[in-house]
Structure 1
Amino acid sequence: MTHARAALAAALALISSVPPAGAEDFRLSVPLDCTLGETCFIEDYVDNDPTQGRHRDFACGINSRDGHKGTDFALLDFGAIGEGVSVLAAAPGVVKRTRDSMPDDRLMRGVTSENACGNAVLIDHGGGWQTLYCHLRLGSVSVAPGDLVQPGDPLGLVGLSGQTNHPHVHLTLLRDGQVVDPFRPEATGTCGDPGPSLWTEPPAYTRTGLVTAGFSDAVPTLQAVGDGSARRPTLGPDEAMVVYAHLGYAQPGDVLTLSAESPAGTDLFRRAITLDSDQASQMQALGRKAPPSGWPAGEYLGRARLTRDGKVIAHRFAHVTVSN
Structure 2
Amino acid sequence: MERPYFIGLILLIINSYCFGQSVKRTTVLKNDTVYISFVNPFLVPLELHLTPLDSTKGFTKVNPYGLVKYKDTLKNAVALPISKIKDTSAIDVTRFIEFKGTFGDPNSQIDKDYRYSLPFPRGKRYKIVQSFGGKFSHYKTHSKYAIDIGTQIGDTITAARPGTVVFVKEDSKEYCRSSKCADKGNKIIVVHDDGSLAHYVHLDFEGALVDVGERIEDSQPIGISGMTGFTTTPHLHFVLLKAGSVSIPFKFKGQKRKKLKQGRYYKRVHGPSWIPAPKND
What is the TM-score with the length of structure 1 in the denominator?
0.42
Looking at secondary structure, tell me which structure has more helix per residue: 1
Looking at secondary structure, tell me which structure has more strand per residue: 2
Higher relative contact order (CA 8 A, sep 6+): 2
What is the TM-score with the length of structure 2 in the denominator?
0.47
